[in-house]
């Protein structure tokens, strides 16, 4: 069994260079860094680098054009793969908070091609809160090894499909 710990990425833009990719907001709500969430695996970056949105509505859309690689209903997770090879995971709730996809309506299937903005799923943020869980959409980059920095939008409030939610730098 092989374990690898990703190098820590910077959260500020490098002095020179353009972003190699920009991701749209997958949900509406308040933008959070992963280290601001209470789950230790997210705080330490062991599940990947990325960001979260404390959702105020339940719609979740594709942040980039990609193919649905997998859907894990039991863990409320979906993995997308961009044509350039970037893999990203969208998860509703923190790990272990939503069991067996309760109150999630999946709108895509494995292998489906999606454009940026394609509706992926619908959730119920109010129900998630009633379960004493955080109604977050967690976006993690699963293969960020060649990236040097990720930059979150400067606006803490974001709407679904807003551009420049997350900029990736090499």
Structure confidence by residue, pLDDT tens digits, 117-128:
999 999 999 988
Residue 48 lies in a domain: yes
Residue 7 lies in a domain: no
Q: Residue 131's pLDDT is what?
A: 83
DSSP 3-state of 125: helix
Task: List, in order, residues 6 or more apart from 43 with CB less than 8 Å away.
Answer: 34, 35, 37
Average pLDDT over residues 56-84: 95
Residue 130 lies in a domain: yes
Residue 3 lies in a domain: no
Residue 123 lies in a domain: yes
Structure confidence by residue, pLDDT tens digits, 4-49:
334 445 566 666 678 889 999 999 999 998 888 877 766 666 667 8
Q: Please compute, for residue 15, the number of CA atoms within 13 A of its CA located in the half-sphere on the CB side.
A: 0
Residue 4 lies in a domain: no
Domain of 100 in residue numbering reads as 21-169
Structure confidence by residue, pLDDT tens digits, 94-107:
776 676 567 889 99
In the chain, % of residues over pLDDT 70: 82
- The CATH number of the domain holding residue 136 is 2.70.70.10
pTM: 0.86
Q: Residue 44's pLDDT is what?
A: 64
How many structural domains does the chain have? 1
As a three-state string, the secondary structure of 51-110 is: EEEEECCCEEECCCCEEEEEEECCCCEEEEECCCCCEEEEEECCCCCCCCCCCCEECCCC
Nearest CA-CA partner of 93 in 78, 110, 115: 78
Confidence bin at 71 (pLDDT 50/70/90): very high
Residue 13 lies in a domain: no
Residue 64 lies in a domain: yes
Q: Residue 6's pLDDT is what?
A: 43
């Amino acid at each position: 069994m092989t374990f690898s710990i990703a190098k820590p990425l910077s959260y500020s833009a490098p002095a020179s260079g353009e972003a190699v990719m920009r991701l749209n907001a997958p949900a509406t709500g308040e933008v959070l860094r992963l280290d601001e969430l209470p789950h230790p695996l997210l705080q330490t970056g062991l599940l990947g680098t990325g960001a979260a949105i404390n959702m105020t509505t339940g719609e979740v859309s594709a942040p980039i054009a990609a193919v649905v690689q997998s859907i894990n209903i039991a863990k409320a997770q979906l993995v997308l793969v961009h044509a350039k090879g970037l893999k990203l995971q969208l998860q509703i709730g923190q790990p272990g908070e939503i069991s067996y996809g309760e109150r999630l309506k999946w709108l895509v299937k494995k292998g489906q091609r999606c454009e940026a903005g394609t509706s992926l799923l619908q959730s119920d943020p109010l129900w998630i809160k009633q379960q004493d869980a955080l109604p977050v959409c967690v976006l993690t980059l699963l293969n960020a090894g060649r990236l040097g920095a990720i930059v979150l939008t400067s606006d803490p409030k974001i709407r679904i499909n807003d551009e420049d939610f997350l900029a990736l730098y090499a």
